[in-house]
């Protein structure tokens, strides 16, 4: 198969390339990114690389030429910063998807796979699980969630207009791997606050709002699900997450805390907003709103239709990132994942 990956050098794209290189049948791989990786290094070796920025209005003709003859296109292009300038995020996160879909129509690509997110879901339950039919209206206080929800509407319209194209939406929880530790620190913490201690210090007490309950998946497990989707050409939506759910108790076990101290969500949110507004750290309070409001997903469809199951526990994936923060881990061959990008 000829598989084109847009956003191939990031956290998810790097894991997908690793998985595709290990596939039983060899594939012809095309990587599209804004910055060129070290093509001599794994997993970027043996990939046909092209530099295209999907946020640029004139990108469609070039994308269409690169998608010509593709059996599938995997759209992973997404940016989280600068989150004080949402218009710049929109150009990549929403308009970039529209350009990919327009190019896919021109090139007559039969299968389009798009990375959505648990963040696309509307507010839902934390102590029962929802399937892929749960509404994708997003959490409107989060720019990330709003953009993911808009992308879901873009895909709805695309599917209606192109019934001959198989469209798949992959909705993972938080995606962790050691190679992404430095990137995660840059995106969510920034340069002003030290992060190395997070992987070294076992805090005795963990103050966290009781509503903060999330799901996570190791990047390699997510990549396995994506490759199964592409190779089987399965359409529709798939929730992808590891176990266990990351509730306050599970988080305390990861960081080695002896007890959890519940704190008011409003207080934490106010502190996040103020420190973000002052540019002391990079996480806007919308991320807390996602963690406190999106539902817990069922992964039954992925398990039954893809024969997929996560090989790594979500707590181990989170611990891997924390240890990576302590070591300044990253991937030198990838511009976005490099330790000192």
Taking only the tens place, the pLDDT of each residue in 274-285 is 999 999 999 999
Spatial separation of the C-alpha atoms in residues 46 and 37, rounded to whole Å: 12
Which pLDDT score is estimated for 107?
A: 98
Q: Give 10-residue mean pLDDT values along the chain (341 residues).
A: 98 98 91 97 97 97 98 98 97 98 98 98 98 98 98 98 98 98 94 73 88 98 98 98 97 93 96 97 97 98 98 97 94 94 55
Bridge pairing between strands 205-208 and 259-262: parallel
DSSP characters for 216-234? EEEHHHHHHHHHHHHHHT-
Write phi, then psi, for 226 (nearest 5 degrees): -65, -45
Which pLDDT score is estimated for 164?
A: 98
Q: Which residues contact 266 (CB under 8 A, 6 or more apart)?
A: none
Which pLDDT score is estimated for 76?
A: 98
CATH class of 2-175+215-242+294-312: alpha beta
Beta bridge partners of 53: none
Q: pTM for the whole thing?
A: 0.96
Which pLDDT score is estimated for 313?
A: 98
Beta bridge partners of 74: 5, 113
Taking only the tens place, the pLDDT of each residue in 48-82 is 999 999 999 999 999 999 999 999 999 999 999 99
Which pLDDT score is estimated for 341?
A: 55
């Amino acid at each position: 198969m000829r598989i084109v990956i847009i956003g191939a050098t990031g956290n998810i794209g790097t894991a997908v390339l690793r998985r595709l290189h290990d596939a039983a049948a060899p594939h012809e791989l095309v990587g599209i990114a804004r910055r060129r990786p070290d093509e001599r290094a794994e997993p970027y070796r043996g990939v046909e690389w092209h530099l295209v920025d999907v946020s640029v209005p004139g990108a469609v003709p070039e994308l269409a030429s690169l998608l010509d003859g593709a059996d599938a296109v995997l759209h992973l292009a997404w940016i989280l910063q600068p989150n004080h300038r949402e218009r710049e995020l929109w150009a990549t996160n929403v308009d970039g998807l529209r350009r990919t879909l327009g190019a896919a129509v021109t090139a007559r690509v039969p299968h389009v796979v798009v990375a959505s997110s648990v963040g696309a879901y509307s507010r839902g339950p934390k102590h029962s699980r929802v399937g892929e039919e749960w509404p994708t209206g997003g959490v409107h206080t989060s720019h990330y969630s709003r953009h993911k929800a808009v992308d879901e509407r873009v895909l709805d319209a695309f599917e209606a207009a192109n019934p001959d194209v198989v469209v798949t939406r992959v909705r993972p929880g938080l995606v962790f791997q050691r190679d992404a530790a430095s990137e995660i620190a840059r995106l969510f913490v920034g340069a002003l606050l030290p992060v190395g201690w997070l992987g070294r210090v076992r805090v005795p007490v963990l103050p966290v709002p009781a509503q903060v309950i999330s799901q996570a998946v190791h990047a390699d497990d997510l990549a396995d699900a994506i490759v199964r989707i592409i190779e089987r050409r399965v359409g529709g939506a798939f929730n992808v997450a590891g176990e266990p759910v990351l509730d306050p108790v599970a988080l305390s076990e990861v960081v080695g805390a002896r007890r959890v101290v519940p704190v008011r969500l409003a207080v934490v949110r106010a502190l996040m907003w103020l420190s973000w507004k002052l540019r002391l750290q990079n996480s806007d309070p919308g991320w807390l709103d996602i963690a406190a409001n999106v539902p817990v997903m069922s992964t039954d469809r992925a398990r039954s239709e893809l024969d997929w199951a996560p090989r790594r526990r979500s707590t181990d994936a989170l611990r891997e990132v924390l240890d990576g923060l302590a070591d300044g881990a990253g991937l030198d061959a990838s511009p976005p994942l490099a330790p000192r990008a």
